[in-house]
């Protein structure tokens, strides 16, 4: 998945912060979890509706 397909911004959702499409989960939250030592698998367990492509999209968006 190309990250631009999975990350959106909309001022009506989370005040325009970048989020994973179809959720209210911000890219910042995912990046913070990764920085704290969580693995992508850990994050998917915390948020079962996410898939590994969502996590990858967040990391690519941050680059």
Task: Say which residues have a Cβ less than 8 Å from residue 33's Cβ, sequence separation at least 6.
Answer: 42, 43, 46
pLDDT in tens, 2-50: 567 899 999 999 999 999 999 999 999 999 999 999 999 999 999 999 9
Domain chopping of the chain, boundaries: 3-62
Cα distances from 58 to residues 15, 31, 44, in angstroms, run 18, 7, 13
> Is CATH 3.90.1580.10 the classification given to domain 3-62?
no
Kindly give, in sequence order, each residue whose CB lies less than 8 Å from that of residue 40, ignoring residues fewer than 6 positions away: 34, 52, 55, 56
Q: What's the confidence (pLDDT) of residue 2?
A: 55
Tokens (6 digits) for 37: 């030592």
């Amino acid at each position: 998945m190309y990250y631009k397909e999975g990350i959106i911004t909309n001022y009506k959702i989370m005040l325009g912060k970048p989020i994973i499409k179809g959720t209210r989960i911000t890219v910042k939250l995912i990046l913070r979890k990764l920085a704290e030592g969580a693995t992508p698998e850990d994050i998917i367990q915390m948020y079962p509706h996410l898939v590994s492509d969502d996590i990858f999209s967040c990391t690519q968006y941050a680059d």
